[in-house]
Amino acid sequence: MSKRPHVVIVGAGFGGLGVAEQLAHVPVDVTLIDRHNYHTFQPLLYQVATSLLNAEDVGAPVRSMFRHQENVTFRMATVAGIDVAGREIQLEDGGPVAYDYLVLAGGATVNYFNTPGAAEHAFPLYTLMNAVKLRNHVLERFEAADRDPNLIEGGALNFVIVGAGPTGVETAGALSDLFYNLLPRDYHQLATENARVIIVDLGKEVLAQFKENLRAYAKEELEGRRVELRLGEAVAEVGPTFVRLKSGEEIKTQTLVWAGGVRANPLADMLGLPQGRGGRVKLNADLSTPDRPEIFVVGDMGEVASDGKVLPQLGSVAMQSGEHVGRQIARRLLDEPGQPFKYWDKGFMATIGRGSAVVEFPNKMTLHGPLAYFAWLGVHLALLSGVRNRIETLWNWGWSALTHDRAARIIIDPKDEEAKQVNLHEA
């Protein structure tokens, strides 16, 4: 083994990749650990769930990304525990792995806020497998309703989304495109116009973090696309065939998409260090942890702050905080003092459906409509990892725009009953 300091990064999301890339020319050995062998481009998961993109388009093999960065070793593994005092992490299958510097970049996971039935019945949308499962389920609902139209009465074609933030709004808009523009052409008998898309949110606004004019535009666009809004409402209970709201209203549905809240990856709980809202680890200004200067946290798992203000859990925050921590580790090696993290606000954006999006620039200027939509496409294309995924995604979008078709409309269900494998005796 080399004598160079060993940096262990847990998580190959935007944050973890940022750290590893920043360490390319720094004399350290890096071990990058993730449960999956690919980086998930989370902003496009909703497009996998709605049959617009192939699963493979938003999953980039991590090993390929670091093929030419000799100081990075990838390990597909799940973290079982962290021995903070002993400076090593335990893996479920192998390990332990000792570290000199540890960077936690595990991201966020869904938070059901103890809503009864949610953990059993809701569909989260944080992993590629989540997206594939939701796609299978949505397409199966239409196949089931086609076989037996009585199921429509029972809510088979009602789709409820919790959360009117970007994920909820983007998913609702994409489902609306799918249900009202594409599927009617393929179901010769099914009354697809009976499909419903309903967003439920505790707040009074959709896209609450955007400026007023964009919120108004988004609301109007969603309603024009037949998305029903239940604002100022919360989910009280989820069952296999219904969602009950706090107001008492019961919606018949077999599909609840949970885009309603996140919490830090439970990895954060393993540290035994102080946590803030949503389980996010409290951090120094340079993103190291107060008691353990050799441990850093980036992205959604940490209370990443800039100018004393805790930042929202965004991809751009994860990316920038990862790069910052890479630089801080390099400075430590040279005994240079840590620097406070400073976020470069690039604004934010969300699509509402085909040809419709909202953009809020950091200078508070706003943009909406088709131009905002093309800006959204361009930015996300640029952010995708790898030339290949960019070209494939552009191709899928272009094809879909030209033909109004979606090729990834296939149900590859893990539960898929295989034809019975039979042993046959030849006479």
CA 266 to chain centre: 16
Query: Between 23 and 62, how does the x/- string for binding to its own copies read (CB under 8 A)?
Result: ------------xxxx---------------xxxx-xxx-
Closest by Cα among 263, 216, 217, 265 to 16: 265
Report the alpha-carbon distance of residue 227 to residue 351 in Å, rounded: 14
Asked whether position 73 contacts its own copies by CB under 8 A, the answer is yes
By CB under 8 A, the count of residues binding its own copies is 85
Residue with tokens 């030209």, as numbered in its chain? 402
- Window 320-359: contact mask with its own copies (x via CB under 8 A): ----------------------------------------
185 binds its own copies (CB under 8 A): yes
Residue closer to its own copies, measured from CB, 70 or 153? 70
Question: Does 170 qualify as catalytic in the annotation?
Answer: yes
Minimum distance of its own copies from residue 323's CB (angstroms): 23
CA-based max dimension of the chain? 82
Q: Does 181 bind its own copies (CB under 8 A)?
A: no
Neighbours of 300 (CB within 10 A): 32
- Measured from the CB of residue 95, what is the shortest distance to its own copies in angstroms? 8
Say what the alpha-carbon torsion angle 383, 388, 391, 397 is, to the nearest 10 degrees. Answer: -70
Phi and psi dihedrals of 322, rounded to 5?
Answer: -65, -50
- Note whether 189 and 281 are within 8 A (CB): no
Nearest residue to 110 via CA among 259, 243, 234: 259
Q: How far is the CB of 7 from its own copies (least distance, A)?
A: 16
Answer for which of 189, 308, 337, 363 binds its own copies (CB under 8 A) is 189
Do residues 235 and 223 lie in contact, with contact meaning Cβ atoms separated by under 8 Å?
no
Among 187, 246, 339, 378, binds its own copies (CB under 8 A): 187
Q: Smallest gap, in angstroms, from Cβ of residue 305 to its own copies? A: 19
Name the residue nearer to its own copies (CB basis): 188 or 309: 188
From the CB of 313, what's the least distance to its own copies, in Å? 14
For residue 420, state whether it binds its own copies (rule: CB under 8 A).
yes
Among the candidate windows 168-176, 226-234, 300-308, 398-406, which touches its own copies by CB under 8 A?
Answer: 398-406
Contacts of its own copies in 92-151 (CB under 8 A): 93-94, 106, 109-115, 119, 124, 126-130, 132, 139, 143-144, 146-148
Of residues 22, 288, 389, 393, which one binds its own copies by CB under 8 A? 389
On the CB side of 402, CA atoms within 13 Å amount to: 7
The yes or no reply on residue 404 touching its own copies (CB under 8 A) is no
- Residue with Cβ nearer its own copies (77 or 214): 77
Taking CB under 8 A as the binding criterion, the range among 152-160, 205-213, 215-223, 411-419 that sits at the site for its own copies is: 411-419
Nearer to its own copies, 211 or 409 (CB): 409
Cβ proximity to its own copies: between 111 and 181 the closer is 111
397 lies in the binding site for its own copies (CB under 8 A): no
6, 87, 219, 263: which one binds its own copies (CB under 8 A): 263
The rounded distance, in Å, linking the Cα atoms of 207 and 203 is 10
Distances 267 to 54, 100, 301, 315, 353 between C-alpha atoms, Å = 29, 18, 8, 19, 35
Q: Which are the contacts of 407, defined by CB distance < 8 A and separation ≥ 6?
A: 51, 54, 396, 399
* Nearest-angstrom CA–CA distance, 235 and 308: 34
Reduced to 3 states, what is the DSSP secondary structure of residue 33? strand
The catalytic residue among 170, 221, 233, 303 is 170
180 binds its own copies (CB under 8 A): no
Calpha distance 251→233 (Å, rounded):
13
90 binds its own copies (CB under 8 A): no
In eight-state DSSP terms, residue 331 is H
Candidates 266, 274, 290, 312; binder of its own copies (CB under 8 A) is 266
The CA R_g of the chain, rounded to the nearest whole Å, is 23
The SS3 call for residue 371 is helix
Smaller CB separation from its own copies, 44 or 139: 139
Considering only residues 267 to 326 of the shown chain, the ones binding its own copies according to CB under 8 A are: 277-279
Q: How many CA atoms lie within 13 A of 90 on its CB side?
A: 10
Q: Looking at beta carbons only, is 364 or 425 nearer to its own copies?
A: 425
Q: Does 236 bind its own copies (CB under 8 A)?
A: no
Q: How many CB atoms lie within 10 A of CB 70?
A: 10
Instruction: Give the sign of the dihedral formed by CA 350, CA 267, CA 87, CA 305.
Output: positive
Catalytic positions, written as ranges:
170
